[in-house]
């Protein structure tokens, strides 16, 4: 899942980015409202949540939120601000924000609010993804194998990027996904990955899955991309 973070305070931005990355989100962090709108207006990238500071260089967080709602964009929005008056909260919510967090705040509270917004996201309809015996749990941010003859689920240890890749595949079982799609959606915009980087990450993910009896789950469609094979996917 991908989050757009718009925060012009460097120390706070770094702290939030690190916290959300540890929770296995892809995070694009920008410090200017005009640049943030370019990201939101980018047809190649879709976000699960936007976290917007109120006061920003260029467009404010409130103006960004109003622009989204004027386009009937239902992206969940969390506003960050030092403004704690009731009138300010009403302004933020009336602009279309889904939640409002007053600075200073704890990272634990931020994470809880992000999880709550994630549950409202139109991209997320279930607390778990399941493909065959493979389960991805959003609540614990873990992946495990739920085989019928095992006494308990077998957890599969994945890196952040491997988790993000597997999530993307499990959201689209049976679909052919190109390297370009993966680059645009799973790597930060400024990172500029190559197709070789994507292929290397897919190989690493395959090895982890093969160790857990899922050798042929991710298929290479030569000249096109990759496909997650599933007993439930239509052929």
Report which DSSP code applies to 99: E
Q: How far apart are CA 218 and CA 47, in angstroms?
A: 24
> Which 3 state secondary structure label does DSSP give 133?
coil
More confident residue, 81 or 151: 81
Claim: this prediction has a pTM higher than 0.85: no
pLDDT value of position 165: 93
**How confident is residue 122, by pLDDT bands cut at 50, 70 and 90?**
low
pLDDT value of position 231: 63
Report which DSSP code applies to 189: G
> Quick check: 235 pLDDT over 50?
no
pLDDT, one tens digit per residue, over 57-106 is: 999 999 999 999 999 988 899 999 998 888 988 998 899 999 999 999 99
First to last CA, the chain: 26
């Amino acid at each position: 899942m991908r989050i757009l973070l718009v925060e012009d305070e460097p120390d706070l931005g770094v702290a939030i980015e690190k916290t959300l990355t540890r929770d296995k989100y892809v995070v694009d962090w920008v410090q200017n409202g005009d640049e943030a709108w370019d990201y939101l207006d980018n047809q190649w990238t879709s976000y699960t949540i936007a976290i917007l500071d109120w006061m920003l260089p260029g467009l404010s967080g409130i103006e960004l939120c109003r622009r989204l709602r004027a386009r009937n964009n239902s992206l969940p929005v969390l506003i960050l601000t030092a403004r704690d008056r009731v009138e300010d909260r009403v302004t933020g919510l009336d602009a279309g924000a889904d939640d409002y967090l007053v600075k200073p705040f704890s990272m634990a509270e931020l994470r809880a609010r992000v999880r709550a917004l994630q549950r409202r996201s139109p991209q997320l309809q279930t607390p778990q993804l399941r493909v065959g015996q493979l389960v991805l749990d959003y609540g614990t941010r873990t992946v495990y194998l739920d085989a019928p003859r095992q006494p308990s689920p077998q957890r599969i240890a994945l890196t952040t990027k491997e988790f993000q890749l597997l999530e993307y595949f499990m959201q689209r079982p049976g679909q052919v996904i190109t390297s370009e799609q993966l680059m645009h959606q799973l790597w930060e915009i400024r990172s500029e990955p190559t197709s070789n980087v994507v292929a290397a990450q897919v190989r690493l993910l395959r090895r982890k899955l093969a160790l857990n009896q899922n050798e042929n789950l991710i298929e290479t469609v030569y000249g096109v991309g990759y496909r997650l094979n599933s007993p439930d996917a239509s052929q």
